[in-house]
A = this chain, B = another copy of it.
């Protein structure tokens, strides 16, 4: 490969300690700080805001585990106002 390429797990690793947006396969979204992950792309977030169709529906004060099986998308930087 002639172009410097970024591995998917590398992106996750670099985001630890930073804001992240996670979308489940059901399109439900979670925005928070990424505090951990494993090789199955199970992730741990902190101070999470939960969104349904871009509407904030809930805040979770502590930690949250999201199962890798159900994660469709992960965006470093977190939820941004459109």
Q: Mark A residues whose CB is within 8 Å of B.
A: 1, 3, 5-13, 16-17, 24-28, 30, 35-38, 41-44, 58-77, 80, 82
Contact = CB atoms under 8 A, between A and B. Distances in A.
A61 B43 contact: no
A36 B65 contact: no
Question: How many copies of this kind of chain does the complex include?
Answer: 7
A62 B36 contact: no
A24 B72 contact: yes
B11 A65 contact: yes
Nearest to A20: B65
- Top 6 closest pairs, chain A to chain B, by CB: A6-B36, A8-B42, A3-B17, A65-B74, A70-B72, A5-B36
